[in-house]
Amino acid sequence: MAELHLLGTILGCSDFKEPSGLYCKWKIVTGENYDWQTLGGEVSGCTQVDAEGGEGRDGVWDHPIDTHFVIPSMIGWPRMRVEVWSRDSGGSNTLCGYGFCNIPTSTGLHEIDIATWVPCGGIHERLCSFFLGMKPHLKDPTIVAHTRPGESRFGLKCESSGVVYLSIEVITSNLENQGVCA
């Protein structure tokens, strides 16, 4: 069996409207029904609330990622899904952005910028957002990374928010068994 090992760090973020109190929920998603198995590590998690950034970054997380998979086939190659949230001094959580990236198939260290977006909603949601601070969010965030056939963000009204920075080392073993040459 082939193996995939992901070692990395969710470094931080920039360009979000909220200046502090940012944190990131993340998940490594694989195609469903393809029998990917996790040998070790976590496939999802949450960073701590950010430290004040510097050098153009709004937030610094330096959250580690260490996940090891058994690969039955190349079908269902993983993606990283992120949700950025803000926590205010009163403990309220506000959505700041959704995003995803494909995990590179080539081995080595990769620096990835994950662009994020937020749904706009209709006039009612926009008024609630303006007057009450209640921003619209997705009922089912799995559509962010399109892992199920037939699902799509097509037709969803959204606007850009910020960027999440990911540094990830991709290590593979026995991919030639899957007909892939390194």
Nearest to 160, CA basis, from 113, 117, 120, 109:
117
Q: What is the pLDDT of residues 69-116, one digit of tens each?
A: 998 878 888 999 999 999 877 778 888 999 999 999 999 999 999 999
∠29-168-51 over CA atoms, to 5°? 95
* pTM of the complete model: 0.84
Is a pLDDT exceeding 90 seen at residue 125? no
User: Range of 152's domain?
Assistant: 2-178
Please give the C-alpha separations between residue 155 and each of 101, 118, 121, in angstroms, as whole numbers. Answer: 20, 14, 11
Asked if residues 80 and 100 have their Cβ atoms less than 8 Å apart, the reply is: yes
Counting the structural domains of the chain, the total is 1
Select from 28, 35, 39, 31 the least CA-distant residue to 173. Answer: 39
Residues in the chain: 182
Residue 76 sits in a domain whose CATH number is 2.60.40.150
